[in-house]
Amino acid sequence: MKKFGVFLFIFLSGLLTVWAKEDLTPNSPSAILIETSTGEVLYEKNSDERRAPASMTKIMSMLLVMEKIDEGKLQFSDNVLISKNAASMGGSQIFLQEGESYQVGELLKGIAVASANDAVVALAEKVGGSVDGFVTMMNEKAKELGLTNTHFKNPHGLDEDDHYSSARDMSIMGKELLKHEKILEFTSIYEDYLKKPDGSSTWLVNTNRLVRFYNGVDGLKTGFTKNASYCVTTTAKRNDMRLLSVVMGAKTSDDRSSDTTSLLNYGFNSYQVKKILDQGSVVGSIFVERGKEEQIDVIVPRDIRILESSMQNDKTYHYEVFLDSLKAPKKASEKVGEIMVKDEEGSIVLQDDVVLAKDANLASLWDVFVRMFKITLTGN
């Protein structure tokens, strides 16, 4: 029985290896699949190839809008006046009229569900002051994220010279957008209505039908133009694991859905995420030189999670923490060392920062006097 179990494990492992090496996206010339909490790439094909991203461009546009909202510089309830420029946009649209006013949240819904070019231009003008100003912000953000195969010429993705991205870069943008979880409330909508100022309504239907037909899919953005063909960045969550896939250059919408389904099926069937520590878990304490408090707890700033084969659920891990020397003052959440997670064989499988649980304030003269007085009394 033991030998059979070993044989079965080797056989199944071999099947997964073969599957991973096979072309999971035969209809798409470029693709990638990542697990978002670890950022690990599970599959890729020509992922750095520069291609027209079509309306997947709106992932970056939505990211900039969500950043402004989370910074408190923009509200979902803020009104946006529709300009002549926005109202004149072609392609996918929700038929906004010059002079109408819509809330930021309504326009975001139009972008996320119906891929509305008029809505994204209206928000670009609101956030960037002008479309050109917003495009500058898009390219600055791309540079900040280290996207080496991305350059934007517009916020909507209609074909234009020197407007390009790659599957890998799109996955990075998508992962960054997912940090703003509120966006999923828009991208997960399959159908809804946009109420117009004149009392009429526009029916919105999600351009990504997997939102309705694939268990766990709740975003992110499709795209199609003549140059780009059919593409989509998709995210899905099951059993505490979130995947993000990108396919580019498929010939039909059915092809992009088929390839996306293939990627997600592979990811969910082959991998799982094991949580080692929760965000905020205390993993030690650190001596604070010149500090008001001599010892302060050290925590992990985010969940510590390991991606592993779905057949390795009995594997165990341990961690070690390595701390730097620390002099006050220092702010909470600043890095003060590293945590290393190791497997049963002692191999390092993950490294991450550890941070202060609270501010390390500088000791006052009175604090020093009290401390010295206590030492004198106790002798230690």
Please tell me the predicted confidence (pLDDT) of residue 5: 37
Cβ proximity of 237 and 216 under 8 Å: yes
* Residue 353 phi, psi (nearest 5): -80, 155
Active site residues: 55, 58, 115
Nearest to 293 by CA among 346, 362, 340: 362
* Cα 304 from Cα 33, distance rounded (Å): 21
Superfamily of domain 26-272: DD-peptidase/beta-lactamase superfamily (3.40.710.10)
Partnered with residue 191 across adjacent β-strands are: 205
Q: Which CATH number fits domain 278-378: 1.10.3720.10, 2.60.410.10, 3.40.50.2300, 3.40.50.1100?
A: 2.60.410.10
> What pLDDT is recorded for position 111?
97
- From the first residue on, what is the mean pLDDT of each consecutive set of 10 residues in the chain (380 residues)? 35 42 91 96 98 98 98 97 95 94 97 97 98 98 98 97 98 98 97 93 94 96 97 96 98 97 97 93 93 92 91 84 92 93 91 94 76 66
CA distances from 216 to 114, 120, 191, 206, 242 (A): 20, 26, 17, 15, 9
pLDDT at 370: 67
Residue partners of 135: CB distance under 8 A and separation at least 6: 124, 128, 152, 153, 154, 155
pLDDT, position 13: 39
Q: Where are the domains of the chain?
A: 26-272, 278-378
- Identity of the amino acid at 123: L
Q: 308 forms bridges with which residues in the sheet?
A: 272
The upper half-sphere exposure of residue 222, i.e. CA atoms within 13 Å in the direction of its Cβ, equals 28
* C-alpha–C-alpha distance, residues 152 and 142, integer Å: 9
Tokens 């056989």 correspond to 11
